[in-house]
Amino acid sequence: MVNWKTELEAHFKDKKQSKKDLKDKKEELKKAARRFIRKTALPAFEELGKELAKHKREVLVDKKKDWTALLVRHNKKKEFVYEISLSAEGEHLLAIRSFYAPNDKGKLKLGLEGKIRTSENSARIEKIERADIIADFLESYKQATRPR
């Protein structure tokens, strides 16, 4: 019979290593999230903001660790909000976008949630580029603000 004390010691050693591995993975995901927001999402929003300003739109950008949003105002009224939030699925981070548009009474309501459209049809952040965010924003913005 295997020495039960050795087996028990091995169990606790593995458990300790697993906790360390999980902590390392979490930290890695946090860094990837910050990098995606800083290097992909925010530059896309800045580029959009410059163009929208040429069309008399005021743009505000808000960000947190795993979330960023672009608010578009026209004539001091909220016209459109586009958000990107990140969530972990296994070892990968997924980017989910939501947009809000005004209803008939002028209050913002959720228009649609889903993944950012990419050529690879993937929500994983490593597959999403700045151009994908801009194209998805534009499609959503045009749909939400078209005359009715």
- The DSSP code sequence of 17-72 is HHHHHHHHHHHHHHHHHHHHIIIIIHHHHHHHHHHHHTTT-EEEEEEETTEEEEEE
**What pLDDT was estimated at residue 13?**
77
Residue 129 has pLDDT above 90, yes or no: yes
How many whole angstroms separate alpha carbon 70 and alpha carbon 61? 5
8 versus 70: which is more confidently predicted?
70
Write down the pTM of the prediction. Answer: 0.81
Q: Tokens standing for 88?
A: 């972990």
**Model confidence pLDDT, tens digit, residues 49-87:** 999 999 999 999 999 888 999 999 999 889 999 999 998
How many whole angstroms separate alpha carbon 36 and alpha carbon 85? 11
**What pLDDT was estimated at residue 2?**
63
